[in-house]
């Protein structure tokens, strides 16, 4: 759980600020009396950062942390499996970019355009921001979780090789990214917030369920998102996105502590042709 979770609470924080306009809105663990900051909260007028809290002024605490997410049914979950709260549906959050972040994003997009024009003699149909790899893959718990959520490197690569003839594809850049043939991979380093600013300059996000899907929703961008059979799109998806779900009696499985055979079946059942069609449909 990470930045996508942080983005899901932003809309609620905005609502709470309207109810309590004279209070400082903070997010954290009420039991531990701990306040959390996040890259997502930067520049947000509705959330008070830790370094700007005035202890003399009233504070409104939102109890939201890794052991208290509204989309998880904790009563029926365990270390090996999540059960989902099917009554929950997320509301898109908001991101507030700095001037420098916007400038850097436009610079990278310009480089991507130059790369396309150098290698092609026709205009692309649209700009896709792509990322399939999580930064949280070192620990076994996260490795198993992300493996179960992912469509598989070979599937993503085959899809990219088909899309690259029609679309300009920009890949995220972080230390654990798997680099794919057919994408523009920036020579300029950039962080998560700059990646979000780049998505704001693109037409569509492509990748698995996770943080960038919530970013696309916050920026009102189209998206084609692989959910597989791990989590239901109703729980962490958005109705205006193309959500690829494995409709199966064992879905959504929520498998955590092991590599799930059902999720492997999802990878095999959801075809490259099918996802390719969803991308083209999103651009119509």
User: Predicted confidence band at 284 (pLDDT cuts at 50, 70, 90)?
Assistant: confident
Question: CA-CA-CA-CA torsion for 100, 102, 107, 110, nearest 10 degrees?
Answer: -170
Structure tokens at 97: 């970019």
Domain boundaries of the chain, sorted by first residue? 3-69, 99-282
Q: What pLDDT, on a 0 to 100 scale, did the predictor assign at position 261?
A: 97
Q: What pLDDT, on a 0 to 100 scale, did the predictor assign at position 143?
A: 80
Residue 81, Cβ density class (10 Å: 0-12 exposed, 13-18 middle, ≥19 buried)? middle
Q: Could you tell me where the DSSP H helices lie in the chain?
A: 3-19, 99-119, 140-149, 153-163, 192-199, 211-218, 233-236, 261-269, 272-282
Contacts of 245 (CB under 8 A, 6+ apart): 227, 228, 229, 232, 233, 251
Q: Is residue 136 over pLDDT 70?
A: no
Encode pLDDT of 240-282 as tens digits: 999 999 999 999 999 998 999 999 999 999 999 999 999 999 9
Q: Are 62 and 9 in contact (CB under 8 A)?
A: yes
Q: Are 97 and 43 in contact (CB under 8 A)?
A: yes
* CATH architecture for residues 99-282: 3-Layer(aba) Sandwich (3.40)
Helix (H, G, I), strand (E, B) or coil at 32: coil
Q: What pLDDT, on a 0 to 100 scale, did the predictor assign at position 267?
A: 97
Encode pLDDT of 60-97 as tens digits: 999 999 999 999 999 999 989 999 999 999 999 999 99
Query: What is the chain's Cα-based Rg?
Result: 19
Q: What pLDDT, on a 0 to 100 scale, did the predictor assign at position 68?
A: 95
Q: What pLDDT, on a 0 to 100 scale, did the predictor assign at position 57?
A: 96
Structure tokens at 20: 């309590």
User: Predicted confidence band at 179 (pLDDT cuts at 50, 70, 90)?
Assistant: confident
Contacts of 49 (CB under 8 A, 6+ apart): 37, 41, 42
């Amino acid at each position: 759980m990470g930045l996508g979770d942080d983005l899901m609470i932003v809309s609620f924080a905005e609502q709470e600020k309207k109810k309590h306009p004279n209070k400082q809105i903070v997010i954290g663990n009420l039991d531990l009396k701990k306040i959390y900051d996040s890259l997502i909260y930067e520049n947000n007028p509705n959330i008070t950062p830790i370094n700007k809290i005035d202890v003399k002024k009233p504070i409104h605490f939102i109890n939201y942390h890794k052991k208290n997410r509204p989309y998880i049914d904790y009563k029926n979950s365990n270390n090996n499996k999540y059960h989902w709260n099917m009554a929950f549906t997320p509301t898109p959050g908001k991101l507030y970019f700095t001037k420098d972040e916007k400038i850097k994003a436009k610079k990278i997009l310009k480089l991507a355009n130059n790369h396309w024009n150098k290698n092609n003699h026709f205009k692309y149909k649209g700009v896709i921001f792509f990322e399939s790899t999580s930064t949280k893959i070192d620990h076994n718990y996260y490795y198993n979780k992300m493996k179960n959520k992912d469509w598989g490197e070979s599937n993503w690569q085959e899809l990219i090789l088909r899309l690259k003839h029609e679309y300009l594809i920009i890949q995220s850049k972080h230390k654990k990214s798997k680099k794919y043939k057919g994408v523009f991979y920036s020579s300029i380093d950039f962080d998560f917030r700059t990646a979000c600013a780049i998505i704001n300059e693109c037409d569509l996000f492509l990748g698995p369920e996770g943080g960038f899907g919530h970013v696309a929703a916050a920026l009102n961008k189209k998206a084609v998102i692989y959910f597989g059979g791990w989590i239901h799109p109703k729980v962490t998806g958005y109705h205006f996105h193309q959500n690829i779900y494995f409709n199966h009696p064992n879905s959504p499985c929520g498998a955590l502590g092991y590599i799930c055979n059902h999720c492997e079946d999802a990878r095999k059942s959801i075809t490259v042709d099918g996802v390719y069609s969803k991308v083209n449909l999103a651009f119509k």
